[in-house]
Every structure is written in C-alpha cells, then in structure tokens.
Amino acid sequence: MEPMNHYPDPIKIREELVEKYPAKVAKKRTKSIIINDPETIPEVQANVRTVPGIITQRGCSYAGCKGVVLGPTRDIVNIVHGPIGCSFYAWLTRRNQTRPESPEHENFITYCFSTDMQEEHVVFGGEKKLKLAIQEAYDLFHPKAIAIFSTCPVGLIGDDVHAVSKEMREKLGDCNVFGFSCEGYRGVSQSAGHHIANNGVFKHMVGRNNDQKEGKFKLNLLGEYNIGGDAFEIERIFEKCGITLVASFSGNSTVGALENAHTADLNVIMCHRSINYMGEMMETKYGIPWMKVNFVGAESTAKSLRKIAEYFDDEGLKVRVEEVIAEEMPKVKAVIDEIRPRTEGKTAMLFVGGSRAHHYQDLFTELGMKTVAAGYEFAHRDDYEGRHVLPNIKIDADSKNIEELKVEPDPEKYNPRKSEAELEALKEKGLEINGYEGMMKQMLKKSLVVDDVSHYESEKLIEIYKPDIFCAGIKEKYVVQKMGVPLKQLHSYDYGGPYTGFVGATNFYRDIDRMVNNPVWKMIKAPWEKTGNEAELAASYVTQ
C-alpha cells in the first residue's frame, strides 16, 4: 500500500495537536503521540493517568470489571454495591448478546441490580443492606453465582465486600458469591477493572468443575464479548471445523463453562488487553498455552483457523479447516469485488479499545482502505509495541495498586499441553504462542499513533487528515459527524454486526460502504449558500 506521502509532516501535526495545552501537559501528551515506524517501533507512553480536565474517551475500573468482563455471562447475578447511577449506566440491554439453551434457562443480563446506596448507608455503612440484597437475589433466582461490584464510595466508607461475600457464600451453601474491589478511582482506566475481573474469575470460578467435554480439539476463546453476535459467528465456524469451544470469556458464556475452562487444551486470545492475565495465569496453573488470534477480517479469520490447526497438529483438522475456508471465502470475495471499487484508496482512523483499533485495520485493508492514524483508549505499551517490551514497562503507582495474583502450578491439575520444544517449534512457524506483536508493526510508516486521544485532539486530527471514516464510540460519534465525517461505532457497532469471521466481514464491508458513500455528506451545504472562497473551504472540509 502507498505510504503516507501526501499528508503534512507528522512532527508538525503533533506540534499542532499539543500547542493549546499548558507546557507540562503538552510535554506529557507528546510522549503519547508517536510517528510510527514498523521497522524500529518507537516507544509509546500508554496506560498513564489522564490529566484532569482533558476530556477523555476512557471509562473507569468498574466499567471494565462489571461492564466488560463479568457483564456478558448470563447466569451470574451481578449486584452493584453503590448509588444507583453506576448500575443503571452499565445495564446491559443490547451490546452483549447471549443465547440461553432454552427460554427456561437463566438470563440475568437484562437486569440491573443495585443496592441503591442512600446517604444513611454512606454514613453508617452499607454491608447490612448488601447482605440483604444478596439474600434477596438468592431467594428470588437461586443463581449459581452472585458477583458484587464496589463503586467509588464503597472503598471509602470501608464496606468489605469480600468478607460479606464469603459470609454469604458459606451461609447460602450452593451459591458462589464473590466480590470485586473495582471502585472507579482505581487505576487509570477500565483496564484496571479488566485485571481485577480476571483475578476474580480466575480465583473464584475457573477450575471448579472437572467434567471433560467431548471433543478432540478443545479450546477457550478469551477476550470475545459477543458484541453484535460476534461470538455466535466464531462458534459457527468452530463447529463447522470440528473445534470444541469449552468456554468463551465471556460473550455468550455461563458459570458452568467458565468453571470448566481449565479442561481445554488451548486458549486463543482476541482482546489481548482485557484478558491476557487470564491466559498467563491458566498457563502457569494448568499448563494451557495461549495464542493470539484475530477473527476480525476474513483473511485474518482464515489465518487464525490455520494457526489453531497447526497448534493441534492434526492432519484431519488441517484438511477440514482448508475445506471450510474454501467454502466460505468465495462468498466473501463476491462482496469485496462488488464493494472495493467504491472504497479503494479511502482512509480510516481508529481510536478505540485495547485491541479493536488493531483488529479492525485488517478489515479496512481488505477494503483497500488505509489507516492513517490509530490509537487505543485504555491499552498498555505491549498492545502497541508487542509483548517483548513487557520487562521494560515501568510499574507506576496506579498499576501497583492492582493486585498481581501469585499463581503456582496446580498440584493435581497442572498438565503442560505442549513441551517447551514443541512450543518453540510452533513459534518458529509464526504462531503467536504466549505472545503478541502489537499494533504498530502492522501500521504504515509515518502513520500516527495516539494513545488515549482526547476529544480535542481527535477533532484536530479530523481537520488535518480529513479521513473518510472515523472509528470510535458513541461519545465521539456525533461530534465527528457534525464535521461531515461518518463515525463507525466499534463498541456497540451502531447496533449492527456481527463483524467477526466470514459472515461478519461481509457485514462490515457493506456497513462501511454505506457509511463512506452516504449521499447525505454532499447535502450539508444548502443550494442557496454562497460559494465564496471561505465557504468553499468549509464545504470541502465537511464533504470530502
């Protein structure tokens, strides 16, 4: 693909982005705005606190823990301990889909439980009310598990959600009750909440059920939250290939599946940022290797399937995977052939997530579109530069506050699925075993990488690059569209999707085609508006 020649000098762009900031802030932001070089990947300052008053895309620890990781499991009753807002705002009613086995099976996702803390609880403590709420949830639903999430005031008033959980777990007997100290002020973004959630799920759920699921090729799908039905499409492909999915963390998942996850022979990771801790911990405790995959993009899906077949090193599986790819690809190709002439050469920007800004570049590449700038909302350096930088990452005060579990091999259940030599051989073949190369290696030279882009910076970037599409979330959507650039939501998919696998890729191509070629962008200027010089400039800026 063509390099980034006809854009202004990226160094000048960076200067322009930070010139409105006070000197200290400008200095700090400069370290997070990087001119990419895929050969010698430069360092990106990431996972550092957002400066107060800089309007960020980031959410909080609670959002990462309850909203992202724990929320999608359908048969856990999630009780939010705190005032009402936090539970209301994380009320999952659309984003994460789930498919109960039958209408009689539990699905608590559409509920929003809260202790609705009032002033008297802040003053006198809320543990009593929390216990009552747990008892009530148990009496009403008899769920297999109840999870408790602490919101900001809880940590400060000294409510001990872990002690309460333990007490209630013992009292109830047949219900697994556990708590998360995921107060919103912990860490620098939702990333802290992911880590806290990983720890809790690993400690309280994984390994509790030793039933062996039928199947020759058993894996877990980590970091796939079934937004817009993404997991359904991956499940369809796995089934077609004869791959057995033990548990997905955590889209379309159940308590039973998560408790059984340690019986799988491979963990494949989609969203590296939110779930890599789980992969690491399961490797140490149970001997299950993990491997980075990407099911976003048709080519990427094919590649990931081949890697899985390579891992299991089974001729039958390899043949079957090729058959499936050969069957699925022509349908994808037909859509690309139709659409690509309309998308070829257009440009995209992605500022989203902890992995999505990377994954979705594959889909744009398949459409012949170029990613001119990208960045994550809550990622760490390894998501940008690759995991080889892990030993060099400075642990700051914010990260130190998040517990690192001490994990040891399980005396009974530890069983290395592959020997060291076998793993090395697989790595030789290009499989990202226990590794991830990060986003920047794949991006163009001189493209811009911006961590935790601020509202202000993204508006400037649009002004400078005039991209054909901008990918972020609903918070950014309408301001970007005000400027005449369509915004694709990659958190909720604008309520579309799925975008994974083969079917998902074609959905995405069509959606992007619709968005970048939407005739409305040409109607912004009314016919009676003057076409003086200035007006022309503005018009080209909004319609290009």
Partner 1 sequence: MTAKAATQNACKLCNPLGACLAFRGIEKCVPFLHGSQGCATYIRRYLISHYKEPIDIASSNFNEETAVFGGSHNLQLGLKNVSQQYRPEVIGIATTCLSETIGDDVPMILKEYRAVMGSDEPLPVMIFASTPSYSGTHIDGFHAAVRSAVKTLAEEGPRKNLVNIFPGMISPADIRYLKEIMNAFGIPFVLLPDYSQTLDGGPWAEYHRIPPGGAPVHAIASTGCASASIEFGSTLEAQKSAAGYLEERFGVPRHHLPLPIGIKASDRFFAVVEKLTEKPMPAVYEDERRRLVDAYADGHKYVFGKRAILYGEEDLVISMAAFLHEIGVLPVLCASGGKSGLMKKRLLELVPDLEDPGIRVRENVDFVDIEHEAPELLPDFLIGNSKGFTMSKRHMLPLVRIGFPIHDRFGGQRLHHLGYRGTQELFDRIVNTVIEQRQKASSIGYTYM
Q: Are 217 and 317 in contact (CB under 8 A)?
A: yes
For residues 436 and 385, give the distance between their C-alpha atoms in angstroms, rounded to a whole number: 9
Q: Are 376 and 451 in contact (CB under 8 A)?
A: yes
Closest CA to 270 of 186, 184, 202, 362: 362
Q: Position of tokens 């999630």? A: 78
How far is C-alpha 224 from the chain's CA centre? 7
Q: Does 185 participate in binding partner 1 (rule CB under 8 A)?
A: yes
User: Would you tell me the crossing angle of helices 356-366 and 298-312 to the nearest 10 degrees?
Assistant: 110
Q: Rule CB under 8 A: choose which of 32, 41, 59, 246 binds partner 1.
A: 59
Query: What's the sign of the alpha-carbon dihedral 396, 408, 249, 325?
Result: positive
Q: Does 58 participate in binding partner 1 (rule CB under 8 A)?
A: yes
Within 375-414, the residues that bind partner 1 by CB under 8 A are: 397-398, 401
Q: Rule CB under 8 A: choose which of 47, 73, 78, 114 binds partner 1.
A: 114
Q: Rule CB under 8 A: choose which of 71, 72, 83, 229 binds partner 1.
A: 83
Within 247-286, the residues that bind partner 1 by CB under 8 A are: none
For residue 49, the minimal CB distance to partner 1 (Å) is: 6
Q: Does 463 participate in binding partner 1 (rule CB under 8 A)?
A: yes
Q: Are 490 and 345 in contact (CB under 8 A)?
A: no
Q: Are 378 and 50 in contact (CB under 8 A)?
A: no
For residues 367 and 153, give the distance between their C-alpha atoms in angstroms, rounded to a whole number: 47
Give the residue numbers marked as catalytic: 60, 63, 94, 194
Stretch that binds partner 1, among 161-169, 182-190, 221-229, 328-336 (CB under 8 A): 182-190
Q: Are 181 and 196 in contact (CB under 8 A)?
A: yes
Give the pair of three-digit tokens for residue 361: 């570049």
For residues 179 and 162, give the distance between their C-alpha atoms in angstroms, rounded to a whole number: 5
Q: Does 508 participate in binding partner 1 (rule CB under 8 A)?
A: no
Q: Rule CB under 8 A: choose which of 28, 306, 342, 455 binds partner 1.
A: 455
Closest CA to 299 of 504, 490, 502, 437: 502
The mark string for 464-503 relative to partner 1 (x by CB under 8 A, - otherwise) is ---------xxx-xxx-xxxx-------------------
Within 118-147, the residues that bind partner 1 by CB under 8 A are: 118-119, 121-122, 129, 132-133, 135-137
Q: Rule CB under 8 A: choose which of 1, 156, 319, 326 binds partner 1.
A: 156
Q: Does 56 participate in binding partner 1 (rule CB under 8 A)?
A: yes
Q: Does 535 participate in binding partner 1 (rule CB under 8 A)?
A: yes
Measured from the CB atom, the residue of 190 and 263 that comes closer to partner 1 is 190
Q: Does 158 participate in binding partner 1 (rule CB under 8 A)?
A: no
For residue 201, the minimal CB distance to partner 1 (Å) is: 21
For residue 222, the minimal CB distance to partner 1 (Å) is: 24
